[in-house]
Structure 1
Amino acid sequence: MPTVLLIRHGRTTANTSGVLAGWSEGVGLDDTGQQQVEGVAQRLHDLPLVRLVSSPLQRCRETASALVSGRELEVVTEDGLGECRYGAWTGHSIKDLAQEPLWKIVQQQPSAVTFPPSPDFENESMAQMQARAVAAVRRIDAQVEAEHGARAVWAAISHGDIIKAVLADALGTHLDLFQRITVNPASVSAVRYTESRPFVVRTNDNGASIEDLRPPTEEQARASDATPGGETGAAD
């Protein structure tokens, strides 16, 4: 039973500007995001990773580049780990999307959500998103075990909603409850798949940082909605 590290990309310009990036091109890490992923790379430096698989999107490839530095590995991209295909929501501000009727369904019953079509971006349902992400992780995990044995460790670099969906599946939690899971930028979660069940070893680990444990601001304390695409992380 290999261990898969589910690593979210570092903070991006879209995160800080409150835009749902989706599959938009040209969305890279900001300065804080670069520092975050370099910190993750340092933390994982002595961990013998046998494979690094990344979403094809720029922010994940930049994160993977930091993690692969100093290792005799190549980064492999996998569409199944790519961001949710938000269709017509892509590129819009979170503030504006929160006024859409679909927003409440995203929060309360994501298994019933199909994002609206767009001429520029593909769309999919959140159930389809979860199915293809879980299938990709399980398929690669089986390949890793066949090639490197049950004690191997590998990393999947992906996005907030994708990692939340994979964790929900591993926890045996219905997709309608996956918004209860938090996955911050540059966080590390870990799952081991066995013949009997998956084991969730770690979730949303940001290392030595205690920022997420600090009392929330009044605005954060009042907020109850989850952000499509994933949270932006603690403020600077």
Structure 2
Amino acid sequence: MTVILLRHGRSTSNTAGTLAGRSPGIDLDDKGREQAQRLAERLGGLPVEEVVRSPLQRCAQTVEPLLERRGLTAVVDDRLEEVDYGAWTGRSIKELLAEPLWKVVQQHPSAAVFPGGEGLAQVQARAVTAVREHDRRLAAEYGRDVLWVACSHGDVIKSILADAVGCHLDAFQRIVADPASISVIRYTETRAFVLRTNDTGADLSGLVVAAEKAPHAESAAGSPSDSDAVPGGGSGPAAHSGG
């Protein structure tokens, strides 16, 4: 069974530099809507049998063009919902950099529990359980290999990928899941195979490290360092926003 992990398109919170979390009414921005249309074109020719998504609006908007093209109705699963960031929800990334918990999220995420929210270890447990359960269900229902889509959020997808490659959650910040990116996992009886990660199309320019940037240059004040992973997954290359 093969699952395409799809992160929602760029949102208004991404471009505002805030951590959306589970805030209601967070829409895709203009670029995010364009990304959703391109995803429908890119995935529309594939034999996608089912789409499962987070209940949040930005995920619903991301998969809508694909659903229309394929004639499908999405299954909504709360276990694929964004991290409950608790008191961090809605705050700016620049503000969060000063929080002592920021370093824990970066260096020891398995111990990170957001104030008034949930822990990243809890997120991984629920998300991995959801994906594997849907995978088994579809295998039993179709009796053959099925290609399906799970639309979720940056940190949630990264935690699923960490489980699939067999690495500890403390290493999950090394994984990138940009807006509208796809990552592909094939589950078998004995192990998972990660076939693709953070794929946003034929343009691979985002993988090239800017030659003009000094390798040990310090980050600007009030900005995450180049080695920091933004909670929520960020808004793509050259940007540092949650979502």
Same fold (TM over 0.5): yes
Q: Which TM class, normalised by the smaller chain length?
A: over 0.9
1:37-84 Cα offsets, whole Å, 9 max, x none, are 211111111101111011000000101112212212101110000001
How many angstroms apart in 2 are the aligned matches of 1:66 and 1:17?
25
Cα distance change of structure 1 residues 95 and 52 upon mapping to structure 2, 3 Å threshold: same
Farther-moved stretch of structure 1 (7-16 vs 39-48): 39-48
In structure 1, the partner of 2:37 is: 38
Cα distance change of structure 1 residues 62 and 210 upon mapping to structure 2, 3 Å threshold: same
TM-score calculated relative to the size of structure 2: 0.91
Q: 4+ residue stretches of structure 1 with deviation over 2 A? A: 213-222
Shift of 1:222: 5.4
In structure 2, the partner of 1:92 is: 91
Query: Which letter maps to 2:92?
Result: S
Residue of structure 2 aligned with 1:229, choices 224, 228, 232: 232
How many angstroms apart in 2 are the aligned matches of 1:191 and 1:221?
30
In structure 2, the partner of 1:120 is: none
What is the identity percentage for the equivalent residue pairs of Structure 1 and Structure 2?
A: 54
Residue of structure 2 aligned with 1:179, choices 170, 173, 179: 173
In structure 1, the partner of 2:49 is: 50
How many angstroms apart in 2 are the aligned matches of 1:27 and 1:85?
15
How many angstroms apart in 2 are the aligned matches of 1:63 and 1:163?
15
How many angstroms apart in 2 are the aligned matches of 1:235 and 1:181?
16
Query: Which letter maps to 1:74?
Result: T
Shift of 1:221: 11
TM-score calculated relative to the size of structure 1: 0.93
The 5-angstrom pairing of residues 64-79 of structure 1 reads: 64-79=63-78
Report how many aligned residue pairs link the two structures.
230
Q: Is the 8 A contact 2:40 2:69 kept in 1?
A: no
How many angstroms apart in 2 are the aligned matches of 1:85 and 1:25?
12
Give the superposed CA RMSD.
1.7
Shift of 1:212: 1.1
The DSSP-based 3-state class of the residue aligned with 1:70 is: helix
The DSSP-based 3-state class of the residue aligned with 1:14 is: helix
Q: Is the 8 A contact 1:168 1:175 kept in 2?
A: yes
Gaps of 5+ in 1: 118-122
How many angstroms apart in 2 are the aligned matches of 1:235 and 1:124?
28
The 5-angstrom pairing of residues 1-236 of structure 1 reads: 2-117=1-116, 123-216=117-210, 218=213, 223-234=226-237
Gaps of 5+ in 2: 214-218
Cα distance change of structure 1 residues 92 and 221 upon mapping to structure 2, 3 Å threshold: closer
Q: Is the 8 A contact 2:181 2:198 kept in 1?
A: yes
